[in-house]
Structure 1
Amino acid sequence: MGGSATPLVVFALLVALISPSLAEIKALKVTSDSRPLILLEEFGFTPSGSVSIGLSAVSFPSSAASPELFGFFLLSDAGLLQSIHDSEQPHQNPAPVPSCALQSPYVRPLFTFSRLSRAHSFNGTFPITHPDEYGLCFANCVPGAAVSMSVHTEMYNTRSDGNRDYLSVGQSAVPSLYTFFAAAYFAAVAAWIYICFRYRLDAHRIHLLMAGLLLAKALDLLFAAADLHYTRATGTPHGWDVAFYVFKFVKGVLLFTVIVLIGTGWSFLKPFLQEREKKVLMIVIPLQVLANIASAVIGETGPFIKGWVTWNQVFLLIDIACCCAVIFPIVWSIRTLKETSKTDGKAARTLAKLGLFRQFYMAVIGYLYFTRIVVYALKTIASYKYRWVSVAAEEIVTFAFYVFMFYMFRPKERNEYFAIDDEEEQASEAALREEEFEL
């Protein structure tokens, strides 16, 4: 594909980073942009889908270039893969190489600037004849030519009752999923409050913080469901996205804080934090602030802005840094317990703590691995119609992780820390000696 392959490969990189779009009604502003290809958004269509595009205040160097060299087009995933395949094997493609992405046989051109009115504006709606997931792109086939314009886009499917559905077909089940899990977390909040009240003499400060985490997670899902519901019906979230980002931030900070505090044994093993553990919290919390800022920029702007890929990279790096940071306190606690087992006279208690923290360590590793790697793989390989599967998988594993963590560290009258009889003590001492021999 030669000349047209490069912008299409750029499109592939953008699609690899982009999250499933809410595809609400968008008003975009392009100012003096000379990029050869601008990805506006991505959407999964049914046979009754449509794309509406409105342009105004269009400015381009018409005196030096033909308006036919500026235009909008749709590109499906299948067309994208085929174009990349052909670009990697040019010797098998004897056809002339098109010099403009608008001329590629794998795209569906919508219109060019030659159809602009005298007021340099355009309005049009284009039905989708072949259902698929498409990326809406603007192509600038004049190197170095700066284009400015205001773009209004609407991508939607028409339901059987004639109303528009502004959610991509793969996202249609997500509001119901979020509502279901929000109800599950609200039920968990009630159950946790009951447990803490019943065993209030054995409850610690960490249990109150865990209750706050459950409530923040429930509200995060509730507002996410409201955001998607209003977007689906009207094309705009009506302000629910603000509440969603607020509680997403609170949930993220509380989750990593709880993992760090449990990993250090705060409230369970000791009433204070060491200096290095305070430093972990001082690192994780600001990183979560930056991660949520990056997430809001990614979600509220879209791939058309010049720094969108950079914001994605920032979010990815910060998220990985947070995941790595919360592992250290758990490792420190395990190492401390191993060293304590050599001198502590209460071997059973130490062994119970050591086993508990090892299980917690494995659970945290499994949770982070699944939600960061496996979920991303599901989003990548699943058909556009089944993108909701990755959301369901992530929420199921997250709920399972919460259940495990809250069950393991729940307040209770008799636990492995404070009630160990003589027989258990002798058996534990033998187990510790065997473990030291293995190490």
Structure 2
Amino acid sequence: MILFERFGFTHTGHVTITVSSVSVISTLTTPNPKNLGFFLLSQQSLVQILIELQQNPNSCVLDSNFIKFLFNFQSLSPPPSSFFNYSYPISAPDEYSLFFANCEPQSKVSMDVRTELYNVDGDLGSWGSKDYLSAGVTQLPTIFSVFSVCYFGFLGVWVYVCWRNKGSVHRIHLLMGALVVVKALNLVFAAEDKHYVKVTGTDHGWDVLFYIFQSLRVVLLFTVIVLVGTGWSFMKPFLQDREKKVLMVVIPLQVLANIASVVIGETGPFIRDWLTWNQVFLLVDIICCCAIIFPIVWSIRSLRETSKTDGKAARNLAKLTLFRQFYIVVIGYLYFTRIVVFALKTIAAYKYQWVANAAEEIASLAFYIVMFYMFRPVEKNEYFVIDDEEEEAAEMALRDEEFEL
């Protein structure tokens, strides 16, 4: 069984399959064309199919009552043409997986296959058009466009804040601004890419630009989190060796993850190593998420130790509070976008897969807003401007803590 594609159909869904240049070679007997063919399988029927095949290993899945049979090789034109082209309407709306099954032992099949899975908006004969995006993600072009506008507005606010506080602007603030630019452009190209797929059925519009800005956005985001978490630029003009090592690990791993993302996006589940690339992407993403936490923890530990010996106790305690809050924000962001969003994609009905994407973009925008607000360039930042009373209160608190210890 070879999985070609998974697609969410409405009541106007269609499947068109074109097969040509078919060649079947068997080392045993003459292959039975009834045992070679295509079928659709819903997620609900997948368990029944697995149980059925387990109970009777010699049975052919093409004979099962749990599949939506499309055609077998008996429908092919006679050799040497061996050609087939037909379109099937979907009578029961659902999310289906398109499979090819070869139930002939010791046989090898070679063929050219072109599949076309789509829903029809309205009446195709009048004003309707084909929608090549699955029923659950056809809203993505609009969602990405809306959020790109939000980020461009956010960029305008950030530029205004930096201009009003030019004396407090550091290099990290410029890098944060670049991150917003890349994120906004990434959403623009993502919207165009999905729209191109929706209209044409292929993903060869601006997909190259989408992957470029996707890679830049992820690498820049993790870099900014590490640099902000270490207090680079606005607290200290340098990075320690261990912090540099984190960046040297995270950036190459993100490049590898982006390569895996391109392979996953540009190919289908029918290629041999498609599942492996999915696992590589997941593993690398988890490693990077864990790695960027360490610099923040190191900063918290360093500030805690400094606050016990430095005379500016209140200032260090305020910075410690800032990094503790940032640590919680980063953990919350990573947990939501990696676990909650994955859970939404898993449990949501196929018609509402877009909800997971919308939730991820909302969480990302909220994270950007909180991070940029906490480390904004202002002359009188509440975390860094401490009066004498607060300084004395902090020193008293430190003395009481040392006395209790």
Aligned partner letter, 1:195? V
TM-score by length of 2: 0.94
Give yes or no for contact 1:199–1:411 (8 Å, CA) kept in 2. yes
- Partners in 2 of 1:316 and 1:437 — Cα distance? 48
Deviations 1:286-336 (A, max 9, x none): 111110100010011010000001000100010001101100000000010
> Is residue 140 from structure 1 mapped to residue 102 from structure 2 by the alignment?
yes
Instruction: Name which of structure 1's ranges 117-126 and 245-254 shifts more when overlaid on structure 2.
Output: 117-126
CA distance 1:269–1:435, shift in 2 (3 Å): farther
Aligned partner letter, 1:184? C
Deviations 1:84-104 (A, max 9, x none): 46678x6xxxxx776111112
Deviations 1:75-123 (A, max 9, x none): 01111134346678x6xxxxx7761111122111101111111212211
Aligned partner letter, 1:101? V
SS of the residue aligned with 2:115? strand
Of residues 291, 296, 311, the one that matches 1:325 is 291
Task: Give the equivalent residue in structure 2 for 1:112.
Answer: 72
- Partners in 1 of 2:369 and 2:64 — Cα distance? 52
Deviation of residue 268 (structure 1)? Answer: 2.1
Give yes or no for contact 1:259–1:326 (8 Å, CA) kept in 2. yes
Equivalence map 1:127-206=2 (5 Å):
127-160=89-122, 161-206=127-172
Deviation of residue 134 (structure 1)? Answer: 0.2
> Is residue 60 from structure 1 mapped to residue 24 from structure 2 by the alignment?
yes
Report the aligned-residue RMSD. 1.7
Deviations 1:347-382 (A, max 9, x none): 111011000000110111111111111101100100
Of residues 83, 96, 99, the one that matches 2:59 is 99
SS of the residue aligned with 2:172? helix
CA distance 1:329–1:189, shift in 2 (3 Å): same
Could you tell me which runs of 5 or more consecutive residues in structure 2 were left unpaired when the two chains were aligned.
none
Task: Give the equivalent residue in structure 2 for 1:74.
Answer: 40
Aligned partner letter, 1:128? I
TM-score by length of 1: 0.87
> Is residue 399 from structure 1 mapped to residue 365 from structure 2 by the alignment?
yes
Identity among equivalent pairs (%): 63
Equivalence map 1:24-423=2 (5 Å):
37-61=1-25, 64-84=30-50, 99-118=59-78, 119-160=81-122, 161-416=127-382, 418-423=384-389
- Partners in 2 of 1:69 and 1:124 — Cα distance? 19
- Partners in 2 of 1:177 and 1:256 — Cα distance? 24
Deviation of residue 213 (structure 1)? Answer: 0.4
Aligned partner letter, 1:124? Y
CA distance 1:241–1:379, shift in 2 (3 Å): same
Deviation of residue 54 (structure 1)? Answer: 0.7
Instruction: Name which of structure 1's ranges 407-416 and 327-336 shifts more when overlaid on structure 2.
Output: 407-416
- Partners in 1 of 2:206 and 2:225 — Cα distance? 28
Deviation of residue 437 (structure 1)? Answer: 7.2
SS of the residue aligned with 1:412? coil
CA distance 1:129–1:345, shift in 2 (3 Å): same
SS of the residue aligned with 1:74? strand
Task: Give the equivalent residue in structure 2 for 1:6.
Answer: none
Aligned partner letter, 1:122? F
- Partners in 2 of 1:60 and 1:312 — Cα distance? 31
- Partners in 2 of 1:374 and 1:434 — Cα distance? 42
CA distance 1:254–1:438, shift in 2 (3 Å): farther
Task: Give the equivalent residue in structure 2 for 1:14.
Answer: none
Could you tell me which runs of 5 or more consecutive residues in structure 1 were left unpaired when the two chains were aligned.
1-36, 91-95
CA distance 1:438–1:283, shift in 2 (3 Å): farther
| Paired residues, number | 397
- Partners in 2 of 1:437 and 1:61 — Cα distance? 85
Deviation of residue 233 (structure 1)? Answer: 1.2
